Amino acid sequence: MNVDLEHLAALAEWDTPALSNALDLLRLRSFNGGYTDGSIQRITGTAAGGSGVGGPPMVGRAVTARMVARDAGDDAIPVSQLHRAVSEMEGPVVVVVEDCDAPPGAGAFLGEVNGSLLAALGIAGVVTNGRVRDVDVLRDLPFAVHAAGLCVARSYMRLTAVGEPVTVAGMRVKPGDVLHGDEHGVLQIPAEALPGIFEKAELIREDEQNVVGWSKSTDFSIPKLLELRRVKH
Ligand SMILES: O=C([O-])CC(=O)C(=O)O
Ligand SMILES: [Mg+2]
């Protein structure tokens, strides 16, 4: 499905909880899927020098890859395949790397060198269930990094596939999928949710702000609270 790039820019105005609520309202997917499960965190933000805390959301379309690192093997493919896939994707790109080792994290794909090359290609972020290194440099690169944590070594790291569906932190991702990420995690936005998601997000924000505003107002009372019926789903 085609994605309007203006809609991608508009997604960056919202945080992941708001967009997730709006997706629930649209009922385009189950309530318990389509987002990362908390086993990965935002390691760096998108602002120069940024930590994982604060900073603008990451928005882009997925370019996918698989890697292994724990043991030696002769299944490596050239990293140029990834660079080609990034350069051919229309719009901002989030590179999604599934670390296929069990357990993952023996060696990093993303560090200073791979990160600098991807920065030169203008990517919006990297999402991996694996680990990353050279974190001081990653903090200064102009894209967000979501990963399971940091690691020391490269080990036998190599890419083994590009352009295949992958699963990262419980989230299934296909090439071209729209991803939105912030401190809370990464959310997949079904293309058919655009542009309707914005109206739903506004509705929910109004509803929530009414309740929050009331909780702080002089009109608030415990009897009224006990009468309040907020039923979801
Ligand atoms: O050695 C690797 O490929 C990973 C890494 O640290 C870098 O990209 O700088
Ligand atoms: Mg390095």
CA gap 54, 45 in Å, rounded: 7
What is the token pair recorded at 32? Answer: 């318990």
Ligand 1 atom having least distance to the Cα of 112: 9
E strand segments, the chain: 41-44, 58-68, 93-99, 125-128, 131-132, 144-147, 149-150, 158-162, 166-168, 171-173, 178-182, 185-189
Ligand 1 atom having least distance to the Cα of 137: 9
| Digit-coded pLDDT (tens) for 101-143 | 999 999 999 999 999 999 999 999 999 999 999 999 999 999 9
| Digit-coded pLDDT (tens) for 80-102 | 999 999 999 999 999 999 999 99
CA of 89 to the centre of ligand 1 (A): 23
**Residue whose CB lies within 8 A of the most ligand 1 atoms, among 117, 134, 152, for a mutation test:** 134
Give the number of the ligand closest to the Cα of residue 141.
1
The residue ranges of every structural domain in the chain are 5-198
Could you tell me where the DSSP H helices lie in the chain? 5-11, 16-26, 80-88, 112-120, 135-140, 196-215, 222-227
- Report domain 5-198's class: alpha beta
Query: The complex's ipTM?
Result: 0.96
Look at residues 200, 194, 160, 18 and name the one whose alpha carbon lies nearest to residue 91.
Answer: 194
Ligand 1 atom having least distance to the Cα of 116: 8
